[in-house]
Amino acid sequence: MHQLVLYFLGIVFAWGLMELLLRRGFMKSTNAALMLSLSAMMGIVRIVDWEMNSPVVNARTGKQITAEDFFFINGGVVLFCFIASVLLEIRKRSNS
């Protein structure tokens, strides 16, 4: 598939995920739902970039980073951002 088509599919998936989470009531916080759906889109875009471009090289060791390492590192960052978003939303609601 062309790279632009895969990017478009990532955006459509993120939009569908956000609509599902908000309209079905799975998430009450629009910020958390937006964060989760955008992280899903960025995950798809990063995997597409990984497949289309050459592998990343670790500057310190000179070894190539595998796709699995790349996925788990970015997954950890996304999970941290999502948890921070949820905690900030809870704190905001408790102060109101």
Taking alpha carbons only, the member of 85, 10, 86, 79 closest to residue 43 is: 10
Number of domains in the chain: 1
The residue among 73 and 1 whose pLDDT is bigger is: 73
Q: How many CB atoms lie within 10 A of CB 71?
A: 14
- Is 57 a residue whose pLDDT tops 70? no
The residue range of the domain holding 42 is 3-95
In this predicted structure, the answer to whether residue 53 has a pLDDT above a threshold of 70 is no
Please state, in angstroms and rounded to a whole number, the distance separating the CA atoms of residues 55 and 63. Answer: 10
- Which of the four pLDDT bands, split at 50, 70 and 90, describes residue 88? confident
- Nearest to residue 41, comparing CAs of 16, 14, 17? 14
Q: Which one, of 93, 85, 84, 95, lies nearest residue 32 by Cα? A: 85
Residue 3: band (very low, low, confident or very high) from pLDDT cuts 50, 70, 90:
low
